[in-house]
Amino acid sequence: MAEPHIAAEITIPSDLAEARRVQEEIEDALQSARYGDRDIFSIKLALEEALVNAIKHGNQLDPDRRVFVVYTVTTERFDIKITDEGPGFNPADVPDPTAPENLERPCGRGLLLIRNFMTSVEYHGRGNVVTMTKVRIISE
């Protein structure tokens, strides 16, 4: 039997409902590849944060701007690249939400969650492209 390999390229408008549709499609792909609940939860959470960041912060909810998503799912790993049409940002400039002076500030929490739930996270170019990888936990 061949190893499941799912790959897709999706372009969506800056619309949170469209982001949810992408999340559901990816969750279906992960289930088809028999990912466990822990991995699916981790990927869904990081994916939601990254898509919301692209739509809200990157594209400023501008319906004329697009978000481009390219992903692959294999039995060993999940890879995704999310690109928005915004000006980008420097992740190093985002305040650490765990620092005492930032505990009550809302910024930076999404990036912290993404970094903690994915195996690797990288920002490219001017900061409007993120690639994320989750290496599958096989123990489930």
Q: What is the 3-state secondary structure (H, E, C) of 107-129?
A: CCHHHHHHHHHCCEEEEECCCCE
Phi and psi angles of residue 45, each rounded to the nearest 5 degrees, phi first: -65, -50
**Per-residue pLDDT, 3:** 66
Q: What is the mean pLDDT of residues 88-112?
A: 83
Whole-angstrom Cα distance, residue 90 to residue 83? 15
Domains of the chain, first to last? 5-135 (3.30.565.10)
Q: What is the mean pLDDT of the chain?
A: 92
Which of 12-21, 105-114, 126-135 bottoms out in mean pLDDT, i.e. has the lowest? Answer: 105-114
Is it the case that residue 29 has pLDDT exceeding 60?
yes
pLDDT confidence of residue 2:
55
